[in-house]
């Protein structure tokens, strides 16, 4: 199986921690040169040091805010062509959808769909010229089964999934693939914050909520960021050249739907 990413350049969004950081490390392990993107320079520096120590390639950092998609093209103007794009950003805050404000929807739409669209339009010429393109969106199992208490996120993730499916059909003739990875419950700071918010509303402890949630996963545990990253790296590789337009759950068997 050809997993070799030597000579490929990857842009990984949200790479300062969690799934994004793990994806950057996994892609570098397969030989890619990685540009890591996040809002905090100091956190990106830590990721760069880890990449250099473990894999040695000349990786780079881009400090940028996905909440400001209009600024992204100019920030990327001086970078070498990018062959692999990992769209990954923190999810919208939790809460019932009927209580959500229009500002919350607009914020989620801008950070996820508009940022994704802007990055694709910026990077697509380089992918076409290189004859190699992989667009991988990190979204959520909520595109198959909505998650209670994540009303805005459920809505925005569905929008991204529909956008990606449409884009996959449009770009397939060029050999550029577009796929979505759907993480299940993953041991990250995002999951901890959701448990803490739920605990504040219900009176249960965050530990109790975590135990209840874990009990609903057939494998009996949460994913590690590295396990999600392995799926991302495979879809980025030459081996996945004929896979496009899919939603790939990495959820320990939690989803009941096909």
Each residue's pLDDT tens digit, 30-47: 999 999 999 999 989 989
Q: What is the pLDDT of residues 230-253, one digit of tens each?
A: 999 999 999 999 999 999 999 999
The pair phi, psi for residue 188, each rounded to 5°, is -135, 170
Judge if 199 and 177 occupy the same domain.
no
CA distance linking residue 86 with residue 23, whole number of Å: 8
Tell me, what's the pLDDT at 198?
85
pLDDT at position 107 over 90:
yes
Q: Is residue 218 part of a domain?
A: yes
Q: Quote the pLDDT of residue 201.
A: 85
CATH of the domain at 177: 3.40.50.720
102, 205: one domain: no
> Mean pLDDT, to the nearest integer, of 97-117?
96
Same-domain pairing of 92 and 200 = no
Query: Are residues 207 and 104 part of one domain?
Result: no
pLDDT score at 12 = 98
Residue 232: is it exposed, middle or buried by C-beta count within 10 angstroms (0-12/13-18/19+)?
Answer: buried
Residue 89 and residue 19 in one domain: yes
Claim to verify: residue 156 and residue 235 sit in the same structural domain: yes
**How confident is the model at residue 190, as a pLDDT?**
85
Distance separating alpha carbons of residues 47 and 255, to the nearest angstrom: 32
pTM: 0.95
User: Are 233 and 210 found together in one domain?
Assistant: no
Binned at pLDDT 50, 70 and 90, residue 58 comes out as confident
Residue 91, pLDDT score: 85
Closest among 125, 31, 7 to 76, alpha carbons compared:
125
Q: Same structural domain for residues 233 and 157?
A: yes
Would you state the pLDDT for residue 44?
93
Residue among 90, 244, 232 nearest 167 (CA): 244
Could you tell me the pLDDT band of residue 189, with boundaries at 50, 70 and 90? confident
**pLDDT over 90 for what percent of the chain?**
86
pLDDT at 184 over 90: yes
Domain that holds residue 200: 187-222
Split at pLDDT 50, 70, 90, the class of 54 is confident
Question: In this predicted structure, what is the pLDDT of residue 77?
Answer: 93
Residue 1 lies in a domain: no
Task: Let me know: does 56 contact 29? Beta carbons within 8 Å.
Answer: no
The count of domains in the chain is 2
Residues 30 and 149 in one domain: yes
């Amino acid at each position: 199986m050809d997993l070799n990413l030597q000579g490929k350049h990857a842009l990984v969004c949200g790479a300062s921690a969690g799934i994004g950081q793990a994806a950057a490390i996994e892609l570098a392990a397969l030989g890619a040169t990685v540009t890591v993107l996040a809002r905090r320079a100091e956190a990106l520096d830590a990721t760069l040091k880890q990449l250099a120590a473990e894999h040695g390639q000349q990786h780079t950092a881009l400090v940028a805010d996905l909440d400001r998609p209009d600024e992204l093209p100019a920030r990327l103007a001086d970078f070498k062509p990018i062959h692999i794009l990992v769209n990954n950003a923190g999810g919208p805050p939790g809460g019932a959808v009927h209580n959500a404000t229009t500002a919350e929807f607009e914020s989620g739409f801008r950070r996820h769909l508009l940022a994704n669209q802007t990055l694709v339009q910026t990077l697509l010429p380089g992918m076409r010229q290189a004859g190699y393109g992989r667009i991988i969106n990190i979204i959520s199992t909520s595109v198959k089964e909505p998650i209670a208490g994540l009303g805005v996120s459920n809505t925005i993730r569905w929008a991204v999934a529909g956008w990606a499916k449409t884009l996959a059909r449009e770009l397939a003739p060029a050999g550029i693939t577009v796929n979505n990875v759907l993480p299940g419950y993953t041991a990250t700071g995002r999951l901890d914050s959701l448990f803490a918010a739920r605990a504040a509303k219900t009176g249960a402890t965050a530990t109790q909520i975590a135990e209840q949630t874990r009990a609903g996963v057939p494998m009996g545990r949460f994913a590690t960021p590295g396990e999600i990253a392995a799926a991302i790296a495979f879809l980025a590789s030459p081996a996945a050249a004929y896979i496009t337009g899919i939603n790939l759950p990495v959820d320990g068997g939690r989803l009941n739907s096909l």
